[in-house]
Amino acid sequence: MSEMTYRDALNLALKEELRRDPSVVLWGEDVALYEGSFKVTRGLLAEFGEERIKDTPISENTIVGVAVGAAMGGLRPVAELMTVNFALLAMDQIINHMAKIRSMFGGQTFLPMVVRMPGGGGSQLAAQHSQSLESYFMHCPGLHIAYPATPADAKGLLKSAIRDNNPVIFLEHELLYNSKGEVPDDPEFLVPFGRANIIRSGTDVTIVAYARMSILALQAAGELEKEGVSCEVIDLRTLSPLDSETFIASARKTGRAVVVEECWGTAGLGGDIAHRIHEACFDNLLAPVRRVSGLDVPMPYSRKIEKICIPRAETIADAVREVVGRKY
């Protein structure tokens, strides 16, 4: 085990997989010489050279499409989109090509590729640079989607993503890059897709979350413990495959659930998860499932009002208090 940041854990995952498999190649805007706008690709050009670590033009749709072609041609490309916001320019290649090619061609090919993209709000970057678009991807069959909360998962999930023979959307939270944690040194350490992590056990209420929301849920659980409320916190790790079994079993046990999502609430993934819990646990539930979501607004710049648009530990705690019947 070594203590390192989420950023360095991602960087280590990339290095280990590039060392392990010569068919892994990496490209994106400013990833080589500039070493990435969030420095996740630091040192890669120096170690692996121009053949494998490549700067690209500012052409998001083509960044993804070239990866689709390269994957079909026998490589394992890892493409970086500078932020998830720019993935909207690549939605044609992501949704119409990357997600469809295997199925529409009758299973005759597969796409072992990863598209990495930092995202999330909270840095006063205003409406066009603060989005959480995970529900957009999750809506579409054919993609795997990972979104790590901790440095260890950042490493283990990214390594699994690169080895996955399915196309993977790999989301990284910009506010987690500097977060620290213990990370296994083993180059064969992998975190499997489709297995949620019970990051805190409890008995009164289940909180389902992912990425930065899981960290906030843990903080809320810590506060609530002081009030005598025992929370079980489930970090989804991957949104596709979605490990419904784990959160359904937990909600059945606790009888209460709160679902936290950073994205907009309307038609957001939290609605789907809440519905799955209602349907599977109706007879066990002691209260309706609550959702905590990003506010349904384009993100404002001013930090005073940006703050209220994103779920916080306090808003998660308030939702838990409501479902356990203790309103403050």
Partner 1 sequence: METRLRATLPDQELLKLYEQMVLSREFEESCAEQYTKGHITGFLHLYSGQEAVAVGATAGLHKDDYILSAYREHAQAIVRGADPRRVMAELFGKATGVCKGKGGSMHLFDPALNFMGGYAIVGGQFPIAVGLAFAAKYRQEDRIAACFFGDGAVNQGTFHESLNWARLWELPVLFICENNFYGIGTEVHRSSALASIHKRTCGYDIPSEKVDGMDVVAVYKAIKYAAEKVRETSHPYFIEAVTYRFRGHSMADPAKYRSVAEHEVWKSRDPIPALAKRLVAEEITTDEHLAGIRNKCLALVQEAVKFAEESPWPEDSEVYNDIYV
Q: Contact 201/136 with Cβ under 8 angstroms?
A: no
Q: Provide, rounded to whole angstroms, the least separation between the CB of residue 111 and partner 1.
A: 9
From residue 288 to residue 317, what is the string marking binding to partner 1 with x (rule CB under 8 A)? ------------------------------
Binding mask 152-171 for partner 1 (x = CB under 8 A): -------------xx-----
CA 327 – CA 307 distance, rounded (Å): 22
Contact range with partner 1 by CB under 8 A, out of 37-45, 61-69, 125-133, 155-163: 61-69
Structure tokens at 129: 């640079």
Our measurement of the distance from residue 134's CA atom to the centroid of its chain's CA atoms, rounded to an integer in Å, reads 7
Instruction: Return the residues of window 225-254 that contact partner 1 according to CB under 8 A.
Output: none
Question: Site mask, partner 1, residues 8-47, x = CB under 8 A?
Answer: -----------------x----------------------
Nearer to partner 1, 52 or 159 (CB): 52
Beta strands 53-55 and 231-235 are unpaired
What angle separates helix 6-20 from helix 151-163, to the nearest 10 degrees? 30
User: In angstroms, what CA-CA distances link 273 with 182, 291, 303, 319?
Assistant: 30, 10, 30, 16
- Closest approach of Cβ 136 to partner 1, in Å? 18
- Closer to partner 1 by Cβ: residue 59 or 203: 59
- Considering only residues 84 to 143 of the shown chain, the ones binding partner 1 according to CB under 8 A are 92-93, 96-97, 101-110, 141-142
d(CA 241, CA 138): 9
Pick the closer one to partner 1 by CB: 109 or 266: 109
Give the shortest CB-145-to-partner 1 separation in angstroms: 12
Q: Is the dihedral of CA 84, 85, 90, 91 positive or negative?
A: positive
Kindly calculate the radius of gyration of the chain based on its CA atoms and give it in whole angstroms.
20
Minimum CB separation of residue 302 from partner 1 in Å reads 34
Provide the minimum distance between the beta carbon of 100 and partner 1 in the complex, in angstroms, as a whole number.
Answer: 9
What's the CA gap between 245 and 249, in Å, rounded?
6
Kindly tell me which residue out of 10, 31, 53, 65 binds partner 1, with binding defined by CB under 8 A.
Answer: 65
Least distance (Å) from partner 1 to the CB of residue 107? 3
Q: Of 39, 54, 163, 278, which one interacts with partner 1 (CB under 8 A)?
A: 54
> Among 7, 116, 129, 144, which residue sits at the site for partner 1 (rule: CB under 8 A)?
144
Q: How far is CA 241 from CA 11, 141, 147, 161, 245, in A?
A: 24, 10, 12, 12, 11
Residues 6 or more apart whose CB falls under 8 angstroms from that of 279 comprise none
- Please report how the helices 313-323 and 212-226 are oriented relative to each other, as an axis angle in degrees rounded to 10: 60
Single out the residue of 70, 92, 56, 80 nearest to residue 23, CA to CA: 70
- Of 10-18, 62-70, 227-235, 296-304, the window that binds partner 1 (rule: CB under 8 A) is 62-70
H/E/C letters for each residue in 68-87? HHHHHCCCEEEEECCCHHHH
Question: Which one among 4, 26, 31, 64 touches partner 1, defined by CB under 8 A?
Answer: 64
- Name the residues annotated as catalytic: 60, 129
CB of 143 to partner 1, least distance (A): 9
- Residues 6 or more apart whose CB falls under 8 angstroms from that of 228 comprise none
The piece of 2-10, 55-63, 155-163, 222-230 that touches partner 1 (CB under 8 A) is 55-63
Interface residue list for partner 1 (CB under 8 A): 25, 51, 54, 56-57, 59, 61-62, 64-75, 77, 92-93, 96-97, 101-110, 141-142, 144, 165-166
